[in-house]
């Protein structure tokens, strides 16, 4: 069942969204060679506590951390690690906060120092995919309209869209109905209704779309070892268009 949110509930959801956005603003200035993703995790734990928010992912299906930290060929769900990031890496940090009983969810890819043109282009196009999708997230459109915009932009740049991990409704829970891949055809799929709150979170690979999962049961990697990037926002579908609840300035 899809739970539609009232205007008042969407207002209440802004707090968790703002905390997640502020976290990303804060770590943007922190990520550089020598910093580890465990440093970022520890910062996240402190940041959420200071903002009276709960680290939603800790213990979620046994996931052990407040953040996911996915470096280079890791698509998603990487574990924070004490290994220092090095110049040229790209890292996606994903965080889910609960504040006043509502969830905000956002992932963002960051360059560590100077990165290759290949990495820069992948990050730019992936972010463009997110915003092209959001533009189509208007009442009356279908999810296929949104995801066609995402998929076609990725593919015309020679990239591929990960199929195995899905976008999802967000509310009192992190994963609510519906869920959907980031590929689609115009006019297909469920219709977007006022009051839906959901993620758009394309994971885009420089190579093929295929994914493997490490023995830890979480770390999802590109099967071909190619780079992967991801940008994720939590958005609300309203009569006045999409509201990005996790918008930040990076």
> Interface residues with ligand MF3 (CB under 6 A)?
57, 60, 63, 68, 77, 94, 96, 105, 107, 199, 201, 232
DSSP 191: B
3-state secondary structure of 192: coil
| 105 known ligand binder | yes
3-state secondary structure of 99: strand
Residue showing tokens 């829970």: 173
Query: Does 141 interact with Co ion (rule: CB under 5 A)?
Result: no
d(CA 82, CA 85): 9
For Co ion, the closer of residues 57 and 222 by Cβ is: 57
| Tokens, residue 81 | 């690690």
| 77 known ligand binder | yes
Tell how many helices (H) and how many strands (E) occur in the chain: 4, 15
CB of 201 to Co ion, least distance (A): 5
Q: Could you tell me which of 118, 124, 127, 126 has the C-alpha nearest to residue 89?
A: 118
CB of 118 to Co ion, least distance (A): 26
CB of 65 to ligand MF3, least distance (A): 8
Query: Does 105 interact with Co ion (rule: CB under 5 A)?
Result: yes
In contact, 103 and 171? CB cutoff 8 Å: yes
In contact, 117 and 26? CB cutoff 8 Å: no
CB of 101 to ligand MF3, least distance (A): 18
For Co ion, the closer of residues 92 and 199 by Cβ is: 199
Query: Does 98 interact with Co ion (rule: CB under 5 A)?
Result: no
Binding-site positions for substrate read 77, 175
Binding-site positions for a divalent metal cation read 94, 105, 168, 201, 232
Provide the binding-site residues for Co ion, judged by CB under 5 A.
Answer: 105, 199
């Amino acid at each position: 069942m899809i739970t539609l949110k009232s205007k008042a509930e969407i207002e209440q959801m802004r707090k968790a969204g703002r905390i997640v956005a502020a976290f990303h603003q804060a770590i943007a200035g922190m990520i550089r060679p020598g910093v580890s993703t465990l440093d970022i995790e520890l910062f996240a734990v402190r940041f959420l506590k200071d903002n009276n928010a709960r680290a939603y992912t800790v213990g979620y299906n046994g996931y052990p951390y407040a953040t996911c930290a996915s470096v280079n060929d890791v698509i998603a769900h990487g574990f924070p690690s004490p290994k220092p990031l090095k110049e040229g890496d790209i890292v996606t940090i994903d965080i889910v906060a609960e504040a006043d009983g509502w969830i905000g969810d956002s992932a963002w890819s960051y360059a560590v120092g100077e990165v290759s043109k290949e990495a820069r282009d992948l990050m730019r196009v992936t972010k463009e995919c997110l915003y092209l999708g959001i533009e189509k997230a208007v009442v009356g459109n279908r999810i296929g309209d949104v995801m066609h915009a995402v998929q076609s932009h990725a593919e015309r740049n020679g990239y591929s869209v990960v199929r195995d991990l899905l976008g999802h409704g967000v509310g009192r829970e992190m994963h609510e109905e519906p869920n959907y891949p980031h590929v689609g055809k115009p006019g297909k799929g469920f219709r977007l209704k006022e009051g839906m709150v959901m993620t758009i979170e394309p994971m885009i690979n420089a190579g093929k779309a295929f994914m493997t999962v490490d023995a830890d049961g979480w770390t999802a990697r590109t099967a071909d070892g190619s780079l992967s990037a991801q940008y994720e926002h939590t958005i609300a579908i309203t009569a006045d268009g999409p509201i990005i609840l996790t918008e930040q300035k990076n």
